[in-house]
Structure 1
């Protein structure tokens, strides 16, 4: 059989054409999805409510919005509201702001005796802890003071009488996240109930409180069990006579480790001042008068001691790491005190926060601020508002670095680091999470893999049926896509791209 040269050429051309077609089909069939397609795919999850899901992503390197879905739909923020409070607090107070809790006295000091009252004046300090009170008591003792003839007074004049955000439910749990607020607060307004198994099976648990004011007593109904699993329950019971019982039930296994259960307190001012009385006694100072809580200190009171809190930059870091509702609401009232005056109200504080957003150029269309922590279901924010805030704060050299570092580095070694721990973007995401029933939110910053691009993102998943893990998976897919595929986009905005004619 013979094939002519022309036939060979024809076949060659056919095979070349066929190969090109195959190559085209192959490239089309196996091309990797674009960044936009990857995000679109993540948002096809059946558990999402499409109308109640919002995404907005902005390239900080170019200023362009690179992805947007329902960006101006008002939705519940949950705890990402704390980023709004964080930014406003930094703007009004500054990173170096410190609370100053003061000790005042009336009357005069004669030898080792104060012939007058000792006053603890609340500053709204969200970080005042029992060791601070113990240190103040020791300082008084070191000055030679042994006796206080008058009363021990708590001055709570700085804040109004609301011990919660007005939009919160009246019925509250005893869990730490539900702690009340106040001008004079201690240990995040929680008491630590320490539990240790007894030496023998059947022995009651060893229980102690820190701090341990006299009006609180332990009602120990617990036992030590044989080795194995055990569960101890702790609850606070406030009686009609003004006493408080800390009731401990259940059991812990013999030889098990110590446990600490935090229970919030019903009256923060009383808890703080009675704890201070206890520490004064332990330091060797006797207070002969009664305890009193007032809204104004006597005019003749003069300062004895002053305790300074850590700087605001460290307070907001702790607030956002632990997602402390208590700290966020304290900050709202602190803003009100500093900008409007006392007594601080939530309304005045939130008005200042709203003014900060508007004067900073942040979109507030459809936005409603009901508290500082995100616990209220009357809050309404948008994904565009949050990315506007992130972009604006990134560009503020005076407070932007403190704002960014207040967010957890997700997946890095350290506290609360399981999120993104095993993902490509681990240790690169700075973000704040938010969770309520049916609500999952995530807002923050992530770079591209090479670091050439930096993105601000806000993801709001409202009315979702995904559950905690399912919602996290959707959000993680989007953030990981920004990290892995973020370099697909040009480093100049569309308005800066060269135009050819």
Structure 2
């Protein structure tokens, strides 16, 4: 009896052992997906166009490509093109480069009177503010200047006459992102229209401009409403009588003050007329007319120089707000510094192309049409962008400034809500890009352990995902790099092959 039970027990144990061995022989059934599988799954979204989707990811720790899909396909970059401009600006100009706006005079100064012209010379400064012009005017007044017998001249000779990238559409909106460029620019070439409800229902809104040059006039057709969400709108009308800022609609009584930014049609005129306004306010009378010239006046000498913040700070602002205006100003500034004036987009973009090539960046299929990514003639590849990210990571002199120019995603900073509920919160450095049907993302992210650091580029062209849907795809990929990034030993053989020239 005992032997019979023992045989039964032995058989049961044997079967259990075989069953356990069988289970252990199929770990993939129960294992979590690998990093590559997670990325593959994210890219199965039905809203994506498989032939117009590209991803390239490089481990900066090992130098190996860990994931690659269509890495050499030329696609629209949208605003991640600004990373190319950022890198080129840092390379050619240096992090401590500062724009210079100069005040010059012709003739001679007798006591409190300048017997000659007063000249404001543009240096391409994308950060010149109306408060800077006011400070310049005050400083000139403090020097004892009360009268200018000659003209007030805007010298815009540094840049050529194009007020936009040549590949942009001629038709322009009045929104700030569509602002024109120029050697002499002010307040990002936008005017701030301030709106505040009146104390009494039915009265017009209180409206004023900052700055308020004399040639701009307010046409106030607005009212103060008893309640509601407000329908106030602003548009600019340029005609023979000057520039009219037309305000329509309403704001509810007791509502907060609002600011609407409208771009300006003539940046040079806007800047020099605003300067005249501040000279008058400071107590300096200019008796001559206002003129704009593309030829620097002979025998003029510098009497004042205003410097911008270093471009290490300007590029941070450019990439945070994705300023097209700042990016295009950089392209022409590079041209001015490396080739000479008048600076052109063509010369600036040639310098950018040279920068990419000298850094060994694969530019096959790449077309540079502007510095901002707004042009639909731009073409980059995912590999080109990760090559750039890798090269900049290895540049100790300018690499840190390049990295810090990108937003820290999810860190509750400005425009950083993405990834705020993610495990990768505050770990992701990224530049976003968006056009109709186009969503792009590029930057850096570490693995959770910190043992690996990745450079990634995601290009989703001709997608039907909408803004949020496209963001979700990109976020899944970047989150996987953070949470599963120590899976990097599982190198995709196809990725390795694609990375080989």
What range describes the TM-score normalised by the shorter chain of this pair?
A: over 0.9
Q: What CA deviation, in whole Å up to 9, does each residue of 1:291-329 have, x standing for no partner?
A: 000012222111110000000100100000000000000
Deviation, 1:11, is 2.2
* Counterpart contact for 2:55–2:70, Cα < 8 Å: yes
Partners of 1:484 and 1:396 in 2: how far apart? 27
Q: What CA deviation, in whole Å up to 9, does each residue of 1:170-224 have, x standing for no partner?
A: 0000000000000000000000000001101111100110000000010000000
Answering whether residue 269 of structure 2 is matched by residue 270 of structure 1, we say yes
Partners of 1:326 and 1:287 in 2: how far apart? 31
Deviation, 1:492, is 11
Tell me which residue corresponds to 1:415.
Answer: 414
Which secondary structure does the structure 1 equivalent of 2:484 belong to?
Answer: helix
Deviating more after overlay: 15-24 vs 307-316: 15-24
Deviation, 1:22, is 3.9
Partners of 2:189 and 2:8 in 1: how far apart? 92
Tell me which residue corresponds to 2:496.
Answer: none
Partners of 1:467 and 1:91 in 2: how far apart? 36
Partners of 1:419 and 1:289 in 2: how far apart? 54
Deviating more after overlay: 29-38 vs 367-376: 29-38
Where do residues 341-490 of structure 1 align in structure 2 (5 Å cutoff)?
341-490=340-489
Q: What CA deviation, in whole Å up to 9, does each residue of 1:91-142 have, x standing for no partner?
A: 0000000111000001111111111110000000010000110000000100
Which secondary structure does the structure 2 equivalent of 1:263 belong to?
Answer: strand
Q: What CA deviation, in whole Å up to 9, does each residue of 1:51-80 have, x standing for no partner?
A: 000000000000000000000000000000
Tell me which residue corresponds to 1:182.
Answer: 182
Deviating more after overlay: 411-420 vs 146-155: 411-420
Tell me which residue corresponds to 2:21.
Answer: 20
Which secondary structure does the structure 2 equivalent of 1:320 belong to?
Answer: helix
Distance 1:438 1:268, change over 3 A: same
Tell me which residue corresponds to 1:499.
Answer: none
Tell me which residue corresponds to 1:118.
Answer: 118
Deviation, 1:28, is 3.4
The TM-score, its normalising length taken from structure 1, stands at 0.96
Tell me which residue corresponds to 1:151.
Answer: 151
Distance 1:493 1:76, change over 3 A: closer
Which consecutive unaligned segments of at least 5 residues does structure 2 have?
A: 494-501
Partners of 1:493 and 1:380 in 2: how far apart? 26
Deviation, 1:17, is 1.3
Partners of 2:479 and 2:28 in 1: how far apart? 24
Tell me which residue corresponds to 1:306.
Answer: 305
Q: What CA deviation, in whole Å up to 9, does each residue of 1:438-489 have, x standing for no partner?
A: 0000000000011110000000000000000000000000000000000122
The root-mean-square deviation of aligned C-alpha atoms, in Å, is 1.4
Where do residues 75-224 of structure 1 align in structure 2 (5 Å cutoff)?
75-224=75-224
Deviation, 1:355, is 0.4
Tell me which residue corresponds to 1:68.
Answer: 68
Tell me which residue corresponds to 1:29.
Answer: 29
Q: What CA deviation, in whole Å up to 9, does each residue of 1:355-393 have, x standing for no partner?
A: 000011000000000000000000000000000000000
Partners of 1:8 and 1:232 in 2: how far apart? 86
* Counterpart contact for 1:56–1:69, Cα < 8 Å: yes
Deviation, 1:10, is 1.9
Deviation, 1:6, is 2.7
Which secondary structure does the structure 2 equivalent of 1:207 belong to?
Answer: strand
Which secondary structure does the structure 1 equivalent of 2:391 belong to?
Answer: helix
Which secondary structure does the structure 2 equivalent of 1:460 belong to?
Answer: strand
Partners of 1:364 and 1:272 in 2: how far apart? 39
Distance 1:493 1:78, change over 3 A: closer
Answering whether residue 44 of structure 2 is matched by residue 6 of structure 1, we say no
The TM-score, its normalising length taken from structure 2, stands at 0.96
* Counterpart contact for 1:62–1:492, Cα < 8 Å: no
Deviation, 1:278, is 0.2
Partners of 1:330 and 1:312 in 2: how far apart? 12
* Counterpart contact for 1:446–1:482, Cα < 8 Å: yes
How many residues are paired up? 492
Which secondary structure does the structure 1 equivalent of 2:249 belong to?
Answer: strand
Deviation, 1:30, is 2.3
Answering whether residue 331 of structure 2 is matched by residue 332 of structure 1, we say yes
Distance 1:492 1:433, change over 3 A: closer
Q: What CA deviation, in whole Å up to 9, does each residue of 1:237-257 have, x standing for no partner?
A: 00123x000000000010011
Partners of 2:296 and 2:12 in 1: how far apart? 103
Which secondary structure does the structure 2 equivalent of 1:450 belong to?
Answer: coil
Partners of 1:358 and 1:469 in 2: how far apart? 35
Partners of 1:18 and 1:215 in 2: how far apart? 89
Deviation, 1:493, is 12
Tell me which residue corresponds to 1:56.
Answer: 56
Tell me which residue corresponds to 1:255.
Answer: 254
Which secondary structure does the structure 2 equivalent of 1:390 belong to?
Answer: helix
Partners of 2:100 and 2:121 in 1: how far apart? 9
* Counterpart contact for 1:61–1:491, Cα < 8 Å: no
Which secondary structure does the structure 1 equivalent of 2:199 belong to?
Answer: coil
Partners of 1:340 and 1:326 in 2: how far apart? 21
Which secondary structure does the structure 1 equivalent of 2:328 belong to?
Answer: helix
Deviation, 1:48, is 0.1
* Counterpart contact for 1:62–1:491, Cα < 8 Å: no
* Counterpart contact for 2:66–2:492, Cα < 8 Å: no
Deviation, 1:421, is 1.2
* Counterpart contact for 1:104–1:118, Cα < 8 Å: yes
